[in-house]
Structure 1
Amino acid sequence: MPVDVVAIMEALAEQGVTALFKADAERMAERGKPWTFVASGAPLREDVLVRTDAASVEQCLAVCLPRLRELGFWFPE
């Protein structure tokens, strides 16, 4: 089942979280981990940044979404 990244990011934004996905051309060319997901903002403490680099969008979400849920945020499955 495909993940609705837009719905997830909108839900996080509605809760005050700034969410960013990035595709890095250099890392993609090097066959590294070109995708980055970062979540930050006022609802998160200053010392909390939810971030990962991965080979795919799905891998980023598999790492970050459980962490965001642990912190009390909600978003569609």
Structure 2
Amino acid sequence: MNDITRLQDEIKELKEYVEAAFADYNDINEDTRMQLELINQAIAELQAKDKQAGGKTRNPIGFISYNKEK
């Protein structure tokens, strides 16, 4: 009987540990999801701000353009 009781206690402790680990994992996922949403919101705000700034045209990256007025 003593061995069975000991095994039951060990299984109970293991179950509690696994449940705590899953709870921590879910908390991390929620925090990460929230941070990604905030990053996406900030990017969207920056894009909207850039569009409102005016019709400035940008040169493509990697291309050198020379001022034709000179």
TM bucket normalised to smaller: under 0.3
Structure (1 or 2) with the larger CA radius of gyration: 2
TM-score when normalising by structure 2: 0.23
Greater relative CO (CA pairs within 8 A, separation 6+): 1
Larger helix proportion of the pair: 2
